[in-house]
Amino acid sequence: MKSKMVAIFAALMVTLMVAGFAYAHWSKVVTISGTVSTGTFELEPSFKVTYPWEVPECEEMPLDDKKVAWMHWWIEDNTLYIWINNTYPCLTIGVTFDIENTGSVPAGLYKWTVTVDGTSYTIFDAEDIPGSIINPKMTEDEVEAALEKFVKGIAAGAVTVTVDFAGSNFWQIDPGEKPTVDITIHFEEELPEDKTYTFTVKLEYWNWNEVGYL
């Protein structure tokens, strides 16, 4: 009789232990609540005509006293549109172009292409630095000279430019920075008559840490 009771008690305990093992475990969870706020990536171009005089945005204005050549420019989204009409040899235009990093993450130049009358040229490609016309290891003078040579080459003597970065670093633009370039465009004697040139300059910037060379 006594041994039966002990057996029943033992069986009950074992059953409870097994049931406890099968249906529950003890646990404690420590929790971390996280918030990740990403930065902003914004670049804003701006443009100014400095010679012969200022041409306000969205206003069509002459570039000489006789009102022969005219210019009109505006910026829409991130695109600068420039229209110059009735140009002639010896006309000179001075412009200033800058890009301001209005975001919170540094920007690095990834690709710079120029398309003239449907033909594309790569000025710089972070994926093909040896094949680029300019590269980050060049001095500022070397970059300016390479760009001037490039324009001379594709314009076939019709247009020459002088480029002055004035110490600005276009390769990497940190938040709040605004690198500037001064460009003087001179139409040469070889400029063909009654001809229209169309060109597109495209500057592609990435977050600086992914361009690979900065």
Partner 1 sequence: MRSKKLMLIPALVLLSLVLIGFAYAHWSKTILISGEIETGKIDAIIIKWFCDDPPGTIDPGYDKDVASCECSIDTADPQKAYITITNAYPCYTVHFSLTVKNTGTIPIALKEVRVDGKVIPEQEWTPIDADNNGVNDLEFYMTNSLGEQVDPGKAVETSLDIHVMEGADPGATYTFTIEFDFWNWNEVP
Binding interface with partner 1 (CB under 8 A): 2, 5, 9, 25-42, 103-106, 174, 207-210
Query: Which residue, 73 or 170, has its beta carbon nearer to partner 1?
Result: 170
Amino acid at 182: D
Query: Which residue, 35 or 139, has its beta carbon nearer to partner 1?
Result: 35
Amino acid at 26: W
Tokens 């009654």 belong to which residue? 194
DSSP state of 169: -
Query: Which residue, 78 or 104, has its beta carbon nearer to partner 1?
Result: 104
CB of 65 to partner 1, least distance (A): 47
Which two structure tokens, joined as six digits, stand for 163? 């480029």
The strand pairing partners of 57, in sequence order, are: none
CB of 174 to partner 1, least distance (A): 8
CB of 171 to partner 1, least distance (A): 14
166 Cβ neighbours under 8 A, 6+ residues apart? 180, 181, 182
Q: Are 130 and 139 in contact (CB under 8 A)?
A: no
Query: Which residue, 80 or 214, has its beta carbon nearer to partner 1?
Result: 214
Which two structure tokens, joined as six digits, stand for 126? 């972070």
CB of 1 to partner 1, least distance (A): 10
